[in-house]
Amino acid sequence: MMRGSAVPAALALWCLLCAGTGAAAPTPVPPAAASPCGEEAPAPFIGNKGSRKLHCADCIWGKKVSPGKRKEFRTYQEAVAEGYFPCSACRPDIAAGLPGPTRPPVAPGEIVGSTVKDFFHRGSCEWADKISAGHLLRFKTREEAIAAGKRPCSVCKP
């Protein structure tokens, strides 16, 4: 589902105008294709080449991506195949009709960390619960986490 697209409304208006003049109505086109005027519809997803974040076309953060770092995608799957991650504000994965990411449960005694932070935690730590499925790292031992360059959390002290 595309959010904020004017193409379906414009197509409906075009059909009404054509019906009143007796002209043949244009054949319906999918929103990602051309509009009745021959212009190409905007891409429903915008990727940031620097951060590898994927946004919906109407996302406030997607609109701020500079032209040099902007990459447009027609489908969510195309962006994921190129290594882009969904924006947590506009959730393009949900806009594409996919369920949100789910994270497997973490056992209380397990050692976990994040790909974006320098800390590791016990599975029971409040901060471990905040690590998203895409960024979750699991370690067998405390020493393995330290060897990976992570520091112990000051809250749970693993």
Residue 3 has pLDDT above 70, yes or no: no
Q: Which CATH number fits domain 43-100: 2.40.50, 2.60.120, 3.40.10, 3.40.190?
A: 3.40.10
- Other beta carbons within 10 angstroms of residue 65's beta carbon come to 19
Read off the pLDDT band of 98 (50, 70, 90): low
Q: Per DSSP, what are the bridge partners of residue 48?
A: 70
Average pLDDT of the residues in 30-38: 48
pLDDT digits (tens, 9 = 90+) for 108-144: 889 999 999 999 999 888 888 888 888 889 999 999 9
Residue ranges of the domains in the chain? 1-39, 43-100, 111-152
Answer for the pair 122, 110: CB distance below 8 angstroms, yes or no: yes
Predicted confidence at residue 2, as pLDDT, reads: 46
Read off the pLDDT band of 81 (50, 70, 90): confident
Name the range with the highest mean pLDDT among 24-33, 34-43, 105-114: 105-114
Phi-psi region of 37 (alpha: psi -120 to 50; beta: other; left: phi over 0): alpha
Gyration radius (Cα) of the chain, Å: 22
Predicted confidence at residue 39, as pLDDT, reads: 56
pLDDT digits (tens, 9 = 90+) for 11-30: 455 554 455 544 444 444 44
Alpha helices in the chain (DSSP H): 7-21, 60-63, 76-81, 92-95, 142-147
